[in-house]
Amino acid sequence: MAERMRRFGVGYALAPKKQASFIQVSLVNLAKERGIDLVKIDMDKPLIEQGPFDCVLHKLYGDDWKRQLKEYALKYPRVLIIDSLEAIERLHNRISMLQVATELEIKCETTSFGIPKQTVVYDAKIVSASYLESEGLKFPVIAKPLVADGSAKSHKMLLVFNKDGLSKLKPPIVLQEFVNHGAVIFKVYVVGDYVKCVKRKSLPDVMEENLGKLESYLSFSQVSNLNTCEKNDDKYYKLMNLDDAELPPLSFLKEIARGLRRATKLYLFNFDLIRDNRVGNKYLVIDINYFPGYAKMPNYESVMTDFFWDVLNKNDKGFENLQKGSCEKEVRLLVGNKGYGEDEGTLPVSPLKREEKENTIQV
């Protein structure tokens, strides 16, 4: 008799908009064929009473959800939480978000990498043109809400052209140098080991000689997020010169993605990259987003299904080994500071589980 395929249950907890875009029939069916059942978590019932799931996939905010997730991980130590609360938290602050990028060592002879100059402002009264100068910044600057918590407010940005615009700032904010980049942004989607880069429209360059002629500021929000109709329109690509813009080398992007995965311990994120017009091949990371709009990626169904299959099977194998007690060495590796999926066959443990192991396993 043929052996029955091991089935996995992935519970998902997503905001309605995310659910509508991500949980498409095509994804649900493809995952099902591979033995993965995507199950909606009922937010009207306690999480602890649901499942048990092999994996909880989530993008929700708030203390109640965090508490429920922690409780769930304690009750079901085998559950894979994607992604861990601690790892996601780092992306909720635009300073700690980019800090990880400064810690990476990217070895590439032809291309360099960094983040824009930035400073955090908690008190509007201290901001003046001379303050900017003392922080190594000059006009134009972008003011971004410090907190990036998925709210509409957290996406509201100001491009400030001169000192009059500074009066519009609403701290706490991050003031970041605006870097001319030819109005094209590269969005790099990461799903575990998978990396996909797409081009999107961005803000146009600002010429220094025009600074005095412009309004004092420009307010904008989610400029790179256009609807599908506009994106698929040939005219849009021509107008924005998107066709002409050369993608950064894939090996370079993969190295950054790998570095960010290790540093953040995240599986699901994208990062926004711009090419600094002032320097040859220099790219700057300006934003990192948890669980972005994957449905906009070509073939997202198979990318996501492969990813679920991979992590679920590795998780299973890891726990089997643990139970057999045959992997003392592997446990040593896991309780150390290893990132997810770095070694074939190691267990992708969420930090919740890692903490638990640190407390319990004596090696």
Ligand X SMILES: Nc1ncnc2c1ncn2[C@@H]1O[C@H](COP(=O)(O)OP(=O)(O)OP(=O)(O)O)[C@@H](O)[C@H]1O
CB of 185 to Mg ion, least distance (A): 7
Point out which span in 20-28, 84-92, 281-289, 328-336 binds ligand X (CB under 6 A): 281-289
186 is annotated as contributing to ligand binding: yes
Task: Name the nearest CA neighbour of 145 among 92, 99, 98, 181.
Answer: 92
Q: Which two tokens stand for residue 23?
A: 């949980």
String marking each residue 120-159 x if it binds ligand X according to CB under 6 A: ----------------------x-x---x------x-x--
Q: Is 180 annotated as a binding residue?
A: yes
Q: Which is nearer to ligand X, 157 or 347 (CB)?
A: 157
Could you tell me where the beta strands, DSSP code E, fall in the chain? 8-14, 36-40, 55-59, 80-82, 112-114, 118-121, 141-145, 156-160, 173-177, 184-191, 194-201, 217-221, 268-275, 282-290
Give, as one character, the DSSP assignment of residue 93.
B
Task: Enumerate residues 304-363 that contact ligand X by CB under 6 A.
Answer: none
Among residues 138, 291, 139, which one has the least CA distance to residue 218?
139
Q: CB of residue 317 vs ligand 4MY: minimum separation in angstroms?
A: 31
Other beta carbons within 10 angstroms of residue 129's beta carbon come to 13
Phi, psi (5° rounding) for residue 171? -60, 160
- Find the shortest distance in angstroms from Cβ 246 to ligand X: 18
Which does residue 146 touch among ligand 4MY, Mg ion, ligand X, none (CB within 5 to 8 A, set by kind)? none
The verdict on whether residue 177 carries a ligand-binding annotation is: yes
- Name the residue with the smallest CB distance to ligand 4MY: 293
Neighbours of 173 (CB within 10 A): 22
As separate numbers, helices (DSSP H) first and strands (DSSP E) second, the chain gives 12, 14
Least distance CB 306 / ligand 4MY (angstroms):
19
Query: Where do contacts with ligand 4MY occur on this chain (CB under 6 A)?
Result: 17-18, 21, 59, 148, 150, 187, 222, 224-225, 270, 289, 291-293, 296
Q: Which of 23, 24, 27 is nearest to 302 (CA)?
A: 27
Contact residues for Mg ion (CB under 5 A)? 272, 287, 289
Q: Give the annotated binding-site residues.
A: 18, 59, 94, 144, 155, 176-187, 202, 272, 287, 289, 293
